[in-house]
Structure 1
Amino acid sequence: MVLRIVEAEVCGDSCIRVAFNDGTIKVVSLRGILDGPVFEPLQERDFFARMELDPICGTVVWPNGADFAPEALRDLAAIEGLLDASNS
């Protein structure tokens, strides 16, 4: 199965909640990876809030063309989970 995002919402500064077509739901912080000319505008709260779901590609996008693949978001959520677990 090709992984796709079926629902997405902004849930904080540089943070999104995504639901995947495999039934998993993750909250992902993008704060540490918003570098470079395409992603720097996403550091602004108002611009970040303009995120939309691209139903054709099954990913999240912003007006400047910035996007993240569903696999990248799932992997980032897993890494964040491992870091949280190691801090417990």
Structure 2
Amino acid sequence: MSGIARIVRLLAHVAAAILVIWILLFLFDADRANDVVHWFQRAADWLATWSRNLFSIDNAKLRTTVNYGIAAVVYLFVGSLVTRVSRRD
């Protein structure tokens, strides 16, 4: 695997981890005034800019899980795809 593919895979995994951590913090009602929680919220909002309002679900916890979860899955898929393509070359 090339060095660039490894970097892309690592970044995809980090992005997905940030999104999953934010989902868990939100589900467990973490204090958003906390600096660490606030950082994860801002990072996840930025990473999921394109998907955070994808579905309008009344339940806030389900909406957050679905919309941010979709972003996490897409990041993992893209990272995996880049890795596979680079192995063929």
Identify, as 1 or 2, the structure richer in strand: 1
Q: TM-score under structure 2 normalisation?
A: 0.31
